[in-house]
Structure 1
Amino acid sequence: MNVPETFIDTLRQKVDIVEVISEYVPLRKSGRSYVGLCPFHNERTPSFSVSPERQVYHCFGCGAGGTVFRFLMDIEGISFAETVTLLAERCGIPLPDSLHASAPRSPKLERYRQVHDLAAKAFNHILMNTDAGVQALHYLLSRGISRTTMANFQLGYAPPSGRAMMSFLQQKGFSAEDLIACGLAVDLGGELVDRFRGRVIIPIADRRGQIVAFGARALDDDAKPKYLNSPEYELFHKGRMLFNIHRARKAIRRERRALLLEGYMDVLAVAQAGIESAVATLGTSLTEEQAQLLKADCDKVVIAYDGDEAGRKATVRAIDVLEQAGLTPVVLRLPDGMDPDEYIRAHGARAFERMLSESTWTAVQFLIEDMRARAEWVSPAGRTEFLRQVLRLLAERASPVEQEYQLRNLSQEFNLSVETLKEEMRAFAKPLRRRSPPREEVAPWANSPRAAKGKDQVSLRILQAALFSQEAAECLMEKGVTELAHPLHTALLSHVYSWRLEQPGQPPSAFLDRLEDEELVRLASSLLFDEPPEISVELVEDYLRALELFRLEQELKEKVRAWNEAEAAGDVEKSREMKLQVEWIQSQMATMKQPRALHAE
């Protein structure tokens, strides 16, 4: 996408980052910044800060940071082009021709959105207001779905006649080619007919709430297929979308928890029960893309799939996908093979709410119970194999607290000591799978310059000077500084050089928008949030001198060690050589530690 930099600058000046982020995160003023709970990780103490002065945000807990563009891209899961379009519409600024040309809202896709919106209204009218929809209306009411829920979810009915909807939409100006391309019509032996016939219609919307597809449920439970979805096309990819995500996101973000269900009717029943955070996959197993959609808004996902064998297998797969995405899965314990819809109809909304708070398993607990259900208990070998599987699971996936808890349970069940079980478990112990980098390992970007120590601190100060000062960056380039204390610092310095050469004089926030690497963005945003000292060429030269001193100190340690080893080995020649090198390094360090005025002489 080719968007003029001048247009991006205009948006930066017009958009108030505090105002935008406040729509997603409750913020309170703290000094010159605003603080709140980070929307990108679970925390109880606010570490998320927004600077209106610099128009950037940074979380000192997880490291997330950037400008308003980055925030909307991450929180909404949209592209840069969509973000620019969204902000331009918010500010009432006309889009440049280059963005119009490449914007995702092409005329063809707009027609597809319009035809789905019109079809949804027509299906809903047939269900709620015509004799043709009476049977479907009674069916939904018999399943406990209220008229209010039908209206809120814009449920509809497709009459059994073969061309009713197609004829209506063609009269409204949509071509047969459009209807086929977006899945509303199908070619049956050379005859074009409605795809959906004699079924309850459930609109499927994208993240913005625009209807792009339909799910269709047969009125007869024995009909095949029971559910029929729109085919995939440009706006509809089942593995990248979640049913009801556009309604549920606010509640998911507020609770930092999502309820993951298996089907449309489950979502309708749960939403009617007053639980707003429910979403469902679209007839497929949970995908990585769907897990990432949830990760943008929450940290925990309650899996409430059907209690049958298929639901059990789907839960096991979902646990793996969610954990790989860095989310914490827990599993709702539904009794007697029920699904959420059936449970609510049988026991009521309040009982289901109690289950959500009182009757969940951790992923490890569920997997143990799943192993238990499939174990061969009749033979000693089967019981031993079950025990070994559980110990392997605990070694690889359980926290120390959960390990201790489960080992005590196993000790009582199998009449074995906890120490014996621990010893056996150690045989399975392997390096734990990293679901997300530990914070201490990513300290080079997570720490601010003020928090860093020694060589890293000097390296970060050099980077910060180049970010805030064109003169400092030019000084560093003239001196040929290309390597800093940490590889990540060196990589960011290279990007700063390129930016300073291409766009001299731009504000530091403009630099963040050109970075794509997540770690570099986090490092840069932490540097922008820390208050730098007054930057000058002399200060930069002091930083460089300090960095060289750190290098010489490290070299001195290595030479002293080599000198001691040579003396211990009786190698007189090597010892003499190392002694001379040590003295030379010491003299260099003594010279560098002299005041700047003496260096000038």
Structure 2
Amino acid sequence: MTKIPDEFVEELRKSVDIVDVISEYVQLRRTGRSFVGLCPFHNEKSPSFSVSPDRQLYHCFGCGAGGTVLRFVMDIEGLTFSEAVVKLAEKAGLTLPVAVDAVPDHSPQNQQRQRMFDAHQLAAKYYNYILMNSAAGVQALTYLEGRGISRQTMVDFQIGAAPDAEDALVRFLRKRGYELPVIVESGLGIALGSKVVDRFRNRVMIPICDGQGRVISFGGRAIAPDGKPKYLNSPETLLFHKSEVLFNLHFAKREMRKTRTAVLMEGYMDVISAWQAGVKNAVATMGTAITVDHARVLKRYAETLIIAYDGDDAGVKAAKRAIEIAGQSHLGVRVATFPEGQDPDDFIRSKGADAFVRQLHHFALTELEFLLNELRRHAQLDSAAGRTDFLRQTLALLGERGTPIEQDAELRRLAMEFQISVDALKEELRLVSKQHHKRKSFQRPPRPEVRLNETPLPRKDVVASNHVLQALLTNSEAYHWLLEREVDELAQPEQTALLAHLYHFRSEHPDGSAIAFVDSLEDPLLARLASSLLMEDPPEFDQDVIDDCLRIIHLQRTEEALQQAMEELVQAQVDGRDDIDVLKHRVEELQTELNALRQQTRGNVTG
């Protein structure tokens, strides 16, 4: 593969606007010359994520994430640099000057990953061919058509069939050059003694894709009525981590962005049926409960989550858990309910697509309505004690989750149903809420007292080092000036590392932009540091100010050396060593040097 020319990357940077790109993932609002929003890379309630259209940079002051539009697409979509270039070029309508999708990464791990990607893609084509074109796929095809799955949907989702043979896929992959260890590590085969056999046999095969649409695992549904297990998923691999993957995300995210709503289901067959019914923003977790990582991904595309789980007790329990996880990521929640014993797929087949869409969008419950319904479903309302217990639990839930409007409406309903005055219920609600807050306060560990004067300030040498880096980032004159003074170390290791990268970049690209430099950094921590420095208004290059910065850095280093020398001298005196005079001389030299530095430093840069 060929490297994408730097000139094209620079043209691409000028053709895309970082605000437009990030707005597809994050709700931004203007504040002064910048835009702010909730960071998509960590959970937060107050926006600390800032985007600068002037500098074409983003930076989160909460978690430190930052960089250019290319870095954002790389991190949010899990792409390589070259893949991000290709994606943004398509968005900008630019034609790549070379036939390339990515710059090769020859690291052993990346080569292994690519081999596994290729094996999965080939396996998906193999399974799909078996389903559509062979006698071995007739039973699976009949099963799918019996469930109402159309041929077009089978094509859309690359659905396939695994034949009932011991090693059909293994032999197919081996003929195409795939080694047995790769087949096993990909989860496509299982080692049994001295031989390797197919993991999936006599099953409908559903490819599981990552956010980019690359096949990374499979779900297999048993065709035989007595097939065990009913659903079999690929194991965790280098490509597939079920706590992070959402089935159908690569298709659904476009509709999620459009509607700002995501639909969460339990199984891939539910999602496939929903897709065919016209619901294009549905995803499913892969045999696991929703995780914080899942919720964080959904938050990038949607504001509201409609939970559409099965109508049985297990589905209700999972929905309650999903409500809590979604709340942690500040997703609004609605819950679509289905008759007990039915999942969304069953509902669609029995009631039809229109009824299903209405169930999602018109009859979905708020989280409070859903939880109140569950309280009522399990309440013992045929006894006085049961009714009292139900009322107390209901009032506690209202106090914890209800808005004033929701509380008022529910209290009026309860008053009519149980023949109790609204005032009495309001008083009880007040008492229950008070007790709830007392319990929470008692259970919560005391928060340590924080005093403003205890907040650590950056060391002066760290601030000074940042000034040096800012000068080098934004002014080509600083490069030669610093080289002449042989400046090769700053206050912190990451600052020194960034300095070395800047020297190398400036030597090859004397007039290169700071944005191009940030994109050249492979280490995300260094890219974050560089972008954070560029988000500030850099001062004009002033040799006297930079001289002061270098003296401050030298001053700190000398103070640390003096402290170390004094400690060593004391230890030598305790041990009665014979190098005491040498150490005394070293301490005196450092003291003299330190005094001279203190007198020279004008203090133009104090932090």
Query: Could you give the per-residue CA deviations for residues 329-361 of structure 1, whole angstroms, max 9, x where no partner exists?
Result: 211122344211111111221221122221111
Deviation, 1:365, is 1.8
Query: Could you give the per-residue CA deviations for residues 241-285 of structure 1, whole angstroms, max 9, x where no partner exists?
Result: 111111111111222211101111101101111211111011111
Which amino acid in 1 is paired with 2:403? S
Q: Take 2:470 and 2:133, find their aligned partners in 1: how far apart are those partners? A: 64
- Contact 1:40/1:64 (<8 A) preserved: no
Deviation, 1:495, is 11
Output aligned runs, 1:232-311, within 5 Å.
232-311=236-315
Cα 1:356–1:464 shift into 2, 3 Å: farther
2:436 alignment partner, SS class: coil
Look up the match of 2:68.
Answer: 67
- Contact 1:155/1:200 (<8 A) preserved: yes
Cα 1:20–1:471 shift into 2, 3 Å: closer
Unpaired runs of at least 5, structure 1: 1-6, 42-46, 434-461, 474-492, 540-601
Which amino acid in 2 is paired with 1:100? D
Look up the match of 1:321.
Answer: 325
- Contact 2:260/2:304 (<8 A) preserved: yes
Aligned-pair identity (%): 41
Deviation, 1:305, is 0.5
Q: Take 1:117 and 1:20, find their aligned partners in 2: how far apart are those partners? A: 34
Deviation, 1:216, is 0.5
Which amino acid in 2 is paired with 1:266? D
1:366 alignment partner, SS class: helix
1:290 alignment partner, SS class: helix
- Contact 1:187/1:193 (<8 A) preserved: yes
Deviation, 1:192, is 2.9
Look up the match of 1:105.
Answer: 110
Cα 1:396–1:184 shift into 2, 3 Å: same
1:240 alignment partner, SS class: coil
1:296 alignment partner, SS class: helix
Deviation, 1:521, is 10
Q: Take 1:395 and 1:521, find their aligned partners in 2: how far apart are those partners? A: 47
Which amino acid in 2 is paired with 1:16? R
1:359 alignment partner, SS class: coil
- Contact 2:162/2:201 (<8 A) preserved: yes
Deviation, 1:128, is 0.8
Q: Take 1:64 and 1:88, find their aligned partners in 2: how far apart are those partners? A: 19
Deviates more, 1:216-225 or 1:67-76: 67-76
Instruction: Report the count of equivalent residues.
Output: 475
Tell me whether 1:332 sits opposite 2:332 in the alignment: no
1:157 alignment partner, SS class: strand
Q: Take 1:521 and 1:346, find their aligned partners in 2: how far apart are those partners? A: 58
Which amino acid in 1 is paired with 2:81? V
- Contact 1:215/1:230 (<8 A) preserved: yes
1:239 alignment partner, SS class: coil
Q: Take 1:519 and 1:364, find their aligned partners in 2: how far apart are those partners? A: 41
Q: Take 1:281 and 1:166, find their aligned partners in 2: how far apart are those partners? A: 28
Query: Could you give the per-residue CA deviations for residues 371-390 of structure 1, whole angstroms, max 9, x where no partner exists?
Result: 22222333333332222223
Q: Take 1:467 and 1:153, find their aligned partners in 2: how far apart are those partners? A: 50
Cα 1:105–1:345 shift into 2, 3 Å: same
Deviation, 1:26, is 6.9
Q: Take 1:500 and 1:154, find their aligned partners in 2: how far apart are those partners? A: 46
Tell me whether 1:136 sits opposite 2:177 in the alignment: no
Look up the match of 1:124.
Answer: 128
Q: Take 2:411 and 2:541, find their aligned partners in 1: how far apart are those partners? A: 58
Tell me whether 1:362 sits opposite 2:366 in the alignment: yes
Cα 1:463–1:329 shift into 2, 3 Å: farther
Look up the match of 1:44.
Answer: none
- Contact 1:261/1:304 (<8 A) preserved: yes
- Contact 1:319/1:363 (<8 A) preserved: yes
Q: Take 1:317 and 1:522, find their aligned partners in 2: how far apart are those partners? A: 38
Deviation, 1:139, is 0.9
Look up the match of 1:19.
Answer: 16
Deviation, 1:398, is 3.2
Deviates more, 1:179-188 or 1:254-263: 179-188
Look up the match of 1:425.
Answer: 433
Cα 1:374–1:58 shift into 2, 3 Å: same
2:322 alignment partner, SS class: helix
Output aligned runs, 1:347-426, within 5 Å.
347-414=351-418, 415-416=420-421, 417=423, 418-420=425-427, 421-426=429-434
Q: Take 2:386 and 2:134, find their aligned partners in 1: how far apart are those partners? A: 61
Which amino acid in 1 is paired with 2:177? G
Deviation, 1:220, is 3.1
Q: Take 1:472 and 1:154, find their aligned partners in 2: how far apart are those partners? A: 50
Q: Take 2:415 and 2:65, find their aligned partners in 1: how far apart are those partners? A: 43
Q: Take 1:465 and 1:404, find their aligned partners in 2: how far apart are those partners? A: 58
Query: Could you give the per-residue CA deviations for residues 153-197 of structure 1, whole angstroms, max 9, x where no partner exists?
Result: 011111112122222221111122222221222234654321111
Output aligned runs, 1:466-545, within 5 Å.
528=536
RMSD: 4.9
Q: Take 2:257 and 2:201, find their aligned partners in 1: how far apart are those partners? A: 37
Look up the match of 1:156.
Answer: 160
Q: Take 1:499 and 1:424, find their aligned partners in 2: how far apart are those partners? A: 58
Look up the match of 2:180.
Answer: 176
2:16 alignment partner, SS class: helix
